[in-house]
Amino acid sequence: MNIGILGGTFDPVHLGHLSIAKAAMDQAGLERVLFIPAGQPRLKQAEPSASIDHRIEMVRLAIGVNSRFDVSDIEAHRPGPTYTVDTLEELSIKFGTEADLYFILGMDVLGQLDQWKDPERVLKLCQFLVLDRPGEEVFDWPAFYRRVPEAEGRVQKVTAPLVDVSATELRRRASVGESLTGQVPDAVAEYIHKQGLYLKEREGRAAS
């Protein structure tokens, strides 16, 4: 069984995430994709704005009735910063040797691989499915393989329609009351609005 893993902050989940999950599923023959919101992402500059419970709920709404997508709370309440290697260790025990794990990620994240905890072990536990992200510079593959030689043969490129959305921009839009329609699933836009998520960012900035 081929299982895709899409880790992220999902603050909030958006159509870019759904697009890369679908493309990875089709092109790599994945049976299912697990969306795994990080408790405390280690390489992000700021703490997540929405709580882990809100971020999990938004992913649940985004997935909707797609029976091949699932949300996992495996990283939700792990104390301290979240490390992908710990998640992969847990999942490889849970799914056993029958399962092959594929980590789905954008080019922006691949470029930071050498800053992850134990990238060699990560690359033993899973293969990578990598997608372009709008606005990213051309990826320097030779330099990447020089920095992380273990990645050789473990990274597969997947193509998806480019979706020019980032959670950072969505938080900014939500903080000033701009519409998120067309960038997140409708149910997620409604949830953000009803819960008043990201409005605090505006208050924080106004106060500073």
Interface residue list for ligand ATP (CB under 6 A): 8-11, 16-17, 20, 105-106, 108-109, 131, 133, 163, 165-168
Least distance from C-beta 27 to ligand ATP, angstroms?
A: 14
Least distance from C-beta 8 to ligand ATP, angstroms?
A: 3
CA distance 12 to 49: 9
Residue closer to ligand ATP by CB (options 46, 98) is 46
Residue closer to ligand ATP by CB (options 90, 112) is 112
Residue closer to ligand ATP by CB (options 163, 187) is 163
Q: Which two tokens stand for residue 154?
A: 């473990």
Is the CB of residue 30 less than 8 Å from the CB of residue 58? no
In the chain, the N- to C-terminal Cα span, in Å, equals 51
Least distance from C-beta 103 to ligand ATP, angstroms?
A: 9
Is the CB of residue 189 less than 8 Å from the CB of residue 180? yes
Least distance from C-beta 98 to ligand ATP, angstroms?
A: 26
Residue closer to ligand ATP by CB (options 109, 192) is 109
Give the CB-nearest residue to ligand ATP. Answer: 106
Burial annotation 115-126 (CB, 10 A radius, 16+ → b, else e): ebeebebbbebb
* Side-chain-side CA neighbours of residue 3 (13 Å): 22
